[in-house]
């Protein structure tokens, strides 16, 4: 993207993020139209979907803003200040990303509750929502305090941080289990 002065790596990031955001807003607009015009009312599932969408757009915006500070470029070309700002923005984007995941899973839980006719069928979805909320709080805590204060976004040297690999592995496995629980609940509902 020579017109914007971006190297090819940063240009790919900007293009991908922009297309993803445009599609997200399109699909959210369709959902909003259906909920407000065709199939009312606007419920808890829609509220959580809205919050998830806002966090996802925040995450994408922070990722795009990282390109101004060297994302997509070779690390040897960056100053220490650019690298620090890039790491700060990446840390904030990661926090927003995890919150988007948590709220999107909550949206699914509350959608299951919406389509359920009996209380006995809604109980597992409420339990899944509670576990998802717990996961979101734990994920937020671990990402926010992954490295020693006052700079939790600085991951070098590694000794000043928790084991980041294990944190991501545990968060990913537990999130996958929660997603699978939502699928099982939905399948048994059908």
Side-chain-facing half-sphere of 46: CA atoms under 13 Å: 15
Q: Given pLDDT bands bounded at 50, 70 and 90, which one contains residue 108?
A: very high
Tell me, what's the pLDDT at 117? 76
What mean pLDDT do residues 165-169 have? 93
Q: Given pLDDT bands bounded at 50, 70 and 90, which one contains residue 35?
A: confident
3-state secondary structure of 118: coil
First to last CA, the chain: 48
Phi, psi of 73 (to 5 degrees): -115, 165
What mean pLDDT do residues 163-173 have? 93
Is the pLDDT reported for residue 106 higher than 60?
A: yes
pLDDT tens digits along 47-102: 999 999 999 999 999 999 998 888 887 778 888 898 899 999 999 999 999 999 99
Mean pLDDT of the chain: 90
Judge whether 107 and 66 are in contact, CB under 8 Å: no
Query: What DSSP string runs through 117-183?
Result: -SHHHHHHHHHHHHHHHHHHHHHHHHHHTSB-TT-TT---SGGGB--HHHHHHHHHHHHHHHHHHHH
How far is CA 53 from each of CA 34, 41, 64, 73, 150, rounded to the nearest angstrom?
16, 19, 16, 28, 29
DSSP symbol at 156: -
Measured distance CA(101)–CA(70) in Å, rounded: 26
Tell me, what's the pLDDT at 4? 63
What mean pLDDT do residues 159-177 have? 92
3-state secondary structure of 149: coil
The domain spans of the chain are: 2-189
Beta bridge partners of residue 147, listed in sequence order: 161
């Amino acid at each position: 993207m020579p017109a914007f002065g971006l190297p090819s790596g940063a240009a790919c990031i900007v293009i991908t993020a922009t297309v993803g955001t445009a599609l997200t807003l399109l699909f959210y607009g369709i959902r909003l139209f259906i909920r407000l015009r065709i199939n009312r009312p606007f419920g808890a599932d829609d509220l959580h979907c809205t919050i998830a969408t806002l966090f996802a757009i925040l995450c994408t915006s922070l990722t795009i803003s990282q390109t101004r500070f060297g994302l997509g470029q070779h690390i040897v070309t960056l100053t220490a200040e650019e690298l620090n700002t890039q790491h700060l923005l990446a840390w904030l984007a990661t926090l927003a990303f995890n919150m988007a995941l948590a709220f999107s899973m909550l949206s699914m839980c509350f959608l299951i509750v919406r389509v359920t006719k009996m209380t006995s069928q809604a109980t597992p979805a409420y339990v899944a929502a509670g576990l998802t909320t717990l996961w979101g709080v734990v994920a937020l805590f671990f990402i926010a305090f992954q490295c020693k204060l006052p700079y939790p976004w600085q991951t070098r040297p590694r000794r000043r941080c928790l084991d980041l690999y294990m944190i991501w592995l545990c968060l990913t496995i537990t999130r996958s289990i929660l997603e699978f629980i939502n699928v099982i609940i939905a399948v048994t509902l059908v």
